Structure 1
Amino acid sequence: MKQEEVICCQIQEWYPKFKSLSLKTAILELPESFIEYLAGDSDTFLLPTSVSNEDAFPNRIHKPEDEEDYQLAEGSEDESEQPLLPPSFPELELKIKESIELLGGAVFPKLNWSSPKDTAWISPTGTLKCTSFSDIALLLRSSDSVVHDLCHAFDSCSDKTLCRPHHFYLALRKWYPALRPEMEFRCFVRGQQLVGISQREVTAYYPAVLERKDNLKDLIHDFFLDNIEGRFKSENYTFDIYVTKDRRVKLIDFNPWCEFTLPLLFTWEELEQIGRSGEDVDFRIVESQNTVRPGLKTAVPYDYIDMSSGSGWDQFLRKADEELQQQMRSS
């Protein structure tokens, strides 16, 4: 894998060309101070303070009496041990708030390459749905996938000269609550030819997808020929798509052709062989309950320490409890 192939798959590189085929997205360049916050290795997880009273769980309510926790008496032996104060990114927060409003009030975030799917469990909704800067900061700061973008994006490149991108971007993508996971597919392109298509949700069996297998294969192949072939810079890459109820295909993402992109129902060896042999496009889905795959990534939570009253985690847990109570009342 070449460094240029990885660079081409950054969302700020491909989205302008394929905007009409993809999800509505706002892309913001991130300040270096926020990157340092995301990559920080502090044992204490501090969520940023907010400039907006409409913010979600880390909206720490300012009370004069709380400041006593940060004040030390004169002559105290602990004067040298200053408490960690939460960071603040007011300009970025306001840009994010404006973008969320323009995109309908809810988004899911990603950096140059990766979304924080490994931390969806931490959200009160169990998804990547974000309605505030706080939601976004929590998911990004907790994600191993994001750490890969920050520190290891070029590690597998044979011609590596970069340790990290020159600039990092936050892509805020419009949230669509009714998306069906069984209708998302990963497509594999080798030598500018589509060689394989795999169902992305491999942990469940969907009979309706099996019934439409041949039609879906033709639909996705035609989409590639009409919209992708020859337009993307790399020779070898993958792209993810979503098929809507009315048979429209939406482009979700591009990824490099390499080991840190999951091949799902294939192996990389199989895909290489199909590409060399010139065989027809191989379309694979979960065709029975017996072929369901286990989850391919398990998130490992950080050691969360700041659980005091009024902290970000205290507010988060309250929000999660309120969400649960509301769901119980609705049902």
Structure 2
Amino acid sequence: MKQEEVDCCQIQEWYPNFKSDSIKTVIHQLPESFIQYLVGDSGPFLLPTSVSNEDAFPNRIHKPEDEEDYQLSEGSDDEAEQPSQPPSFPELELKIKDSIESLDGAVFPKLNWSSPKDTAWVSTTGTLKCTSFSDIALLLKSSDSLVHDLCHAYDSCSDKTLSRPPHFYLALRKWYPSLRPEMEFRCFVRAQQLVGISQREVTAYYPAALERKEELKDLIHDFFIDKVEGKFKSENYTFDVYITKHRKVKLIDFNPWGAFTLPLLFTWEELEQDGRLEEDVDFRLVESEQTVRPGLKTAVPYDYIDMSTGSGWDQFLRNADEELQQQMRFPEAGQDNYTWALACFGMLTRV
């Protein structure tokens, strides 16, 4: 993988050329001071000073009156540091407020490549839905998965010359409350040919999607031919799409081929087979409750996990796979072991 291929997948790079076929998005370049706030790991958890009691969680707000008991008296020998002062980004906050209003009052955020999916649990809704600057700051500051964008985006590049991009961007994407997870798919393009399509949400079984398999495959293939083929800069890449109830395909994201991108119901070895380029597009769905991968979510980038032959994870997966296959052949052996094997089988990669 080359740095150029990774850069092509930054949302500020591809969105202007595909905006008519994607979801409405507003993009802001972030000041370096805000980036330093996100990567800083010293001192207490502080939200920006503009956050008020009405839109932040308890105990997340800087309250000077709470610090009175900790102030050092003049001449004290105690060398403890004074309490940290919360940052302030008034210009950025104003721009974000205007953008949220222009997107009907609710958005979900992402940086150049990634969204803070690992911190949805900290929000009041349990989702990435944000209606204020404080919502966004909380999700971004709490996220471990965004460390990839901030510090490790080029780690898998053979021609790595940078540790991070020169500029970071915040993409505010319009929030749609009624999206159906079974209608999102990841598409794999090798040598400018669509070679595979996978259900994006593999932690559940959706019979309705399975019933429409051929229809969905045709919609996605036609979208690739009409809207994507030859228009994206890389030879090898992946892209995510969503199919609306009106059978319209919407482009969600682009991702690099391999590295930290999940192959989902494929393996990268399968997708890279030379013969696949001459075959029909392979479309894979979760086809039963037994093939669900309930653990396919983690904040650890896919390529940071050591799954080489002989590694601890390699042996763990082999054991889990053997147990799963045995339980599928002999279900009377016990539901507890089956559940354990099924959970272990898909617990390594992130969304």
Give yes or no for TM over 0.5: yes
Give the structure 2 partner of residue 214 of structure 1.
214
Q: Which moved further from structure 2: 138-147 or 253-262?
A: 138-147
Within a 5 Å distance, the mapping from 1:1-331 to structure 2 comes to 1-42=1-42, 44-50=44-50, 55-57=55-57, 65-66=65-66, 68-69=68-69, 71-78=71-78, 81-273=81-273, 276-298=276-298
Answer whether contact 2:108 2:175 (CA < 8 A) is retained.
yes
Secondary structure in structure 2 of the residue aligned to 1:177: coil
In structure 2, C-alpha distance between the alignment counterparts of 1:131 and 1:11, rounded to whole Å: 21
| Amino acid across the alignment from 2:18 | F
Secondary structure in structure 1 of the residue aligned to 2:154: coil
In structure 1, C-alpha distance between the alignment counterparts of 2:43 and 2:67, rounded to whole Å: 22
In structure 1, C-alpha distance between the alignment counterparts of 2:274 and 2:47, rounded to whole Å: 47
Task: Pick 1 or 2: higher relative contact order, CA cutoff 8 A, min separation 6.
Answer: 1
Shift of 1:179: 0.2
In structure 2, C-alpha distance between the alignment counterparts of 1:69 and 1:17, rounded to whole Å: 56
CA distance change for structure 1 residues 61 and 186 in 2, over 3 Å: closer, same or farther? closer
CA distance change for structure 1 residues 255 and 60 in 2, over 3 Å: closer, same or farther? closer
RMSD: 2.1
In structure 2, C-alpha distance between the alignment counterparts of 1:235 and 1:223, rounded to whole Å: 17
Answer whether contact 2:71 2:82 (CA < 8 A) is retained.
no
In structure 1, C-alpha distance between the alignment counterparts of 2:257 and 2:31, rounded to whole Å: 29
Answer whether contact 1:2 1:157 (CA < 8 A) is retained.
yes
Secondary structure in structure 2 of the residue aligned to 1:33: helix
| Amino acid across the alignment from 1:103 | L
CA distance change for structure 1 residues 199 and 186 in 2, over 3 Å: closer, same or farther? same
Unaligned runs of 5+ in 1: 301-331
In structure 1, C-alpha distance between the alignment counterparts of 2:63 and 2:46, rounded to whole Å: 18
TM-score, normalising length: structure 2: 0.81
Secondary structure in structure 2 of the residue aligned to 1:159: coil
Answer whether contact 1:241 1:252 (CA < 8 A) is retained.
yes
CA distance change for structure 1 residues 154 and 275 in 2, over 3 Å: closer, same or farther? farther
Identity across aligned pairs (percent)? 84
| Amino acid across the alignment from 1:249 | V
Shift of 1:70: 6.2
Unaligned runs of 5+ in 2: 301-351
Shift of 1:180: 0.4
In structure 1, C-alpha distance between the alignment counterparts of 2:196 and 2:294, rounded to whole Å: 21
Answer whether contact 2:47 2:62 (CA < 8 A) is retained.
no
State the Cα deviation string for residues 56-115 of structure 1 (Å, max 9, x = none): 437988877446356432222336621112211111111111111111111000000000
Secondary structure in structure 1 of the residue aligned to 2:145: helix
CA distance change for structure 1 residues 255 and 275 in 2, over 3 Å: closer, same or farther? farther
| Amino acid across the alignment from 2:261 | T
State the Cα deviation string for residues 213-255 of structure 1 (Å, max 9, x = none): 0000000000000000000000000000000000000100000
Q: Which moved further from structure 2: 212-221 or 35-44?
A: 35-44
Answer whether contact 1:183 1:244 (CA < 8 A) is retained.
yes
In structure 1, C-alpha distance between the alignment counterparts of 2:290 and 2:8, rounded to whole Å: 38
In structure 2, C-alpha distance between the alignment counterparts of 1:98 and 1:253, rounded to whole Å: 24
CA distance change for structure 1 residues 85 and 270 in 2, over 3 Å: closer, same or farther? same
